[in-house]
Chains A and B, each alone.
Chain A
Amino acid sequence: MTAYLAQRLSIAIVTLLVASLVVFAVLEVLPGDPARLMLGINATPDAVEALREQMGLNHPLPVRYFNWIGGLTTLDFGRSYTYSVPVIDLITERISVSLPLALISLLLSVAIAIPVGAYAAERRGRAGDALSMSAAQVGVAIPNFWFALLLIYVFAVWLRLVPAGGFPGWSAGIWPALKALLLPAIALALPQAAILSRVTRSALIEVLGEDYIRTARAKGLPFGTVLWRHALRNALIPVLTIVGLQFSFLLAGTIIIENVFYLPGLGRLVFQAITQRDLIVVEGVVMLLVATVVVVNLLVDLSYALVDPRLRAR
């Protein structure tokens, strides 16, 4: 177990290091001088030069890379060129929108998918199975931003139950803030729930063919009890893998969904930063998202051991 842990951890760290190199290299290719961009076209060459010096842009590339990466380890992401505030301040402000959004949609997708998948597995081959899996098939095909438009039309324009977009901030109270995140979360969750319910169903059906399930049935346990108590726990490994993968989809999905709903989250921040050539912000947010994906996948790998005691021995 310790060896496994050490191996997984070192792979995660190497992945992060290489990822940081890639992000740095890709964004250095971008045309445009950030100092000139900040000062505008009327700035004197001297002023631009002074600012370049101040921003550390005159150092050779490797030095700038190590300065940047050194800063990252102490959560110093540098200063935004356009907002003139530390990037970490921007990130903490925006993450208070994106993280709850991603988590709510993850919860929603699990809460929908596991019962639906289990129901379909329970009724395998019958009408309920066919119906729920056809619905899942359609759900997978729906683009989340189109579903978002549909939700806006029905719940915001037509029924006027929730706002069509924008975010009042958590200071406006939990309920108004949650209300603003509800539609985006549903839009993000639906396609993921569709995928997850299919995975849950096929994992359950696989497990239901095992010997110990037959034993449990043979000792007289009702099918429902066997399914929910014995089979579901063992079917969780593939389900967990997909949940882990989904988290990165959800985080990336916020880029588009936050644009649909005009939510001031990380996705919108990175999008705006790219159009404004605010590289340091882009680098910071991208690295944060990549790190989140790497850590979540690591946690998923480790959680296998918790779910399946057979893996703990390794």
Chain B
Amino acid sequence: MTELSTTPAHDGFSAFLARAVASRSFVIGFVITALVALVALVSFFWTPYDVTKLVVADRMLPPSATHLFGTDQFGRDVLSMIMVGSRNSIAVALVAVGIGMGIGVPLGCLAAARGGWLDEVVMRFNDLVFAFPALLSAVMITAVFGPGAVNAIIAIGIFNIPVFARVARAGALAIWPREFILAARAAGKGKARITVEHILPNIATMLLVQGTIQFALGILAEAGLSYVGLGAQPPMPSWGRMLFDAQTRMMVMPSLALFPGLAIIVTVLGLNLLGDGVSDALDPKLRQRR
């Protein structure tokens, strides 16, 4: 019976890969994202300076050969802090995407497979979550459970759930009427099995694209939360917190605000380009329109 279950997604993967490599957005986005990930990995065993060590004598040094990005008000090396801060940004955004996918995708697939009242309930739940401005609710959640990286993850993750539910449902609804699904049903497969074996592989790339977008939004949201003091707590360096600390010292040393900001922009830009590249490769027709 397995011969009935050829899924088009697998047939086209090498072609998809070839189109992806040909896309400029994909290549630039991939390189930037890989570099950021590499920096985060390297920071686990090497940074130019120890970020936990305060060197009062080296306070507020401008960028130089010894401290490429300068030092902050406690004499900590800004480059090292940005390197360590990238871990926090990536971890928060990644887990938040995981929560969104882990709960949202099954919900969306269930809604598409079952239809009827269940579909209606899932969609209304989505409307409800969308009615709360995400940042406002994140502030509320971190206020209830206290500030910190874990609660920031939960706050951002909850708002990823309806996004993935919506994408998964729309994708699944488009696949269900296809002939190979009909064949699978004729072969006696149940809805759950069809969803896992045929629907999911076909909407995987779509979910991946949404994943990179939510990842980028998560990094922006985490930076915003830690800027207002609700994200990662000191002494754990975070990009948003660094910007907050830089604000009052901007007149003396604008570079303190410059580098963490650039780190956020480059990371988000890389992820967005990667997402664009993947969706270009997914749908060549779309690419011509871009």
Q: Which residues of A contact B (CB under 8 A)?
A: 11, 14-16, 18-19, 22-23, 26-27, 29-30, 137-138, 140-143, 145-146, 149-150, 152-153, 157, 202, 205-206, 248-249, 251-253, 255-256, 259-260, 270-271, 274-275, 282, 286, 289-290, 293-294, 297
A-B contact pairs, 19 of them (CB 8 A): A11-B124, A18-B128, A30-B144, A140-B268, A141-B272, A142-B265, A143-B265, A145-B227, A149-B250, A150-B257, A157-B250, A157-B251, A248-B133, A249-B133, A255-B135, A260-B247, A270-B136, A286-B136, A289-B136
- Contact call B227/A141, Cβ cutoff below 8 A: no
Closest to A291 in B: B131
Chain A positions within 8 Å of B124 at CB level: 11, 14-15
Known: A146-B261, A256-B224. A290 touches B143 (CB 8 A): no
Assembly CA distance A260 to B229 (angstroms): 12
Assembly CA distance A270 to B139 (angstroms): 9
Range class of the B interface residue count: 35 or more
What's the least CB distance linking B239 to chain A, in Å?
9
Closest to B266 in A: A141
What's the least CB distance linking B48 to chain A, in Å?
23
Chain A positions within 8 Å of B228 at CB level: 255-256, 259, 271
Closest to A18 in B: B128
Chain B, residues 118-135, CB within 8 Å of chain A (1/0): the string is 000000100110111111
Assembly CA distance A271 to B139 (angstroms): 8
- Contact call B135/A149, Cβ cutoff below 8 A: no
Assembly CA distance A16 to B131 (angstroms): 8
- Contact call B144/A26, Cβ cutoff below 8 A: yes
- Contact call A143/B261, Cβ cutoff below 8 A: yes
Chain A positions within 8 Å of B132 at CB level: 19, 286, 290, 293
Query: Is B60 an interface residue when CB atoms closer than 8 A count as contact?
Result: no
Question: Would you list which residues of chain B between 92 and 131 have a CB under 8 Å from chain A?
Answer: 124, 127-128, 130-131
Known: A206-B289, A255-B136, A282-B140. A149 touches B257 (CB 8 A): yes
